[in-house]
Amino acid sequence: MTGSRFLQQFRIAPGQHIRLNGFDPADTGKYHKRDARDRLEDLSDKLNDLQQRLFAERKRSLLICLQALDAGGKDGVIKHVIGSLNPDGCRVANFKEPTPQELAHDFIWRVEAQTPARGEIAIFNRSHYEDVLIVRVHNLVPKSVWSRRYDQINDFERRLVANGMHISKAEQLKRFEQRLNDPTKRWKISEADYTEREYWDDYLRAYEDALARCNTDDAPWFVIPADHKWFRDLAISEIIVSTMESMNIQLPPPTVNIEEIRRKYHSAVAKGKRSASRRHR
């Protein structure tokens, strides 16, 4: 499966109202884990090259939004897919419970400050979508408030590229159990991990509405099967690389006279050889 096929398979068409229960989170297509390992190495090399080009071009930027329920694999994607990128041109922003200062502003305010500069790649671990997801599910603001945010998000996202993930309810519980049994992962556990599961259906409906209302050509959403971590990483890598390749990123022209620099280099090399020759006489 090529990158373009991943784009077609997991991309949600603008205006399409989906049912997340209709997606198989364990889907791996025809891929096998043993084949994915080599492909991921190739994609990592391509992604690093594309990042360097984007950083050098400094005309455009890339924003990747990772939005999922708890244990959906956001941290895993950042570690295994994004972790090899040069930190000079790549950063991660986390959006947790708003601070009093953030609450005093429009909900987009804190997000706007984290958007990538030209030449940069930014990854949002959760995002402004929390304000039409958890805010809606827990009735933190009236419907009259959060329902207006879809249009505000669409306005904000005209320059954004966003990717979404999906995970099954059974796999989420399995990963919570793994956290309980693995002492190195117990620090991630909170009471909310289990209480939030009671709102599973509410979250699905909130996600479905957000995907229907905010999935545009400017900021496309992808629903990624995430039960198998290796396939999750492969699919997201393919989509990011394919997207960046379609940007046709061009290296800028040199800012110096290359021929003059080359002449000076050869002159310095020749001078060094003459000096070395004199010392050995």
229, pLDDT greater than 80 = yes
- Please give the pLDDT value at position 237: 93
pTM summary value? 0.78
Q: What is the pLDDT of residues 198-209, one digit of tens each?
A: 888 898 899 999
Domain span at 51: 3-279
Domains in the chain, number: 1
pLDDT bin (cut points 50, 70, 90) of residue 242 is: very high
- Please give the pLDDT value at position 56: 93
CATH, residue 130? 3.40.50.300
Q: What is the pLDDT of residues 126-185, one digit of tens each?
A: 888 899 999 999 999 999 999 999 999 888 877 554 434 455 555 555 555 555 556 666
Beta bridge partners, 212, equal: none
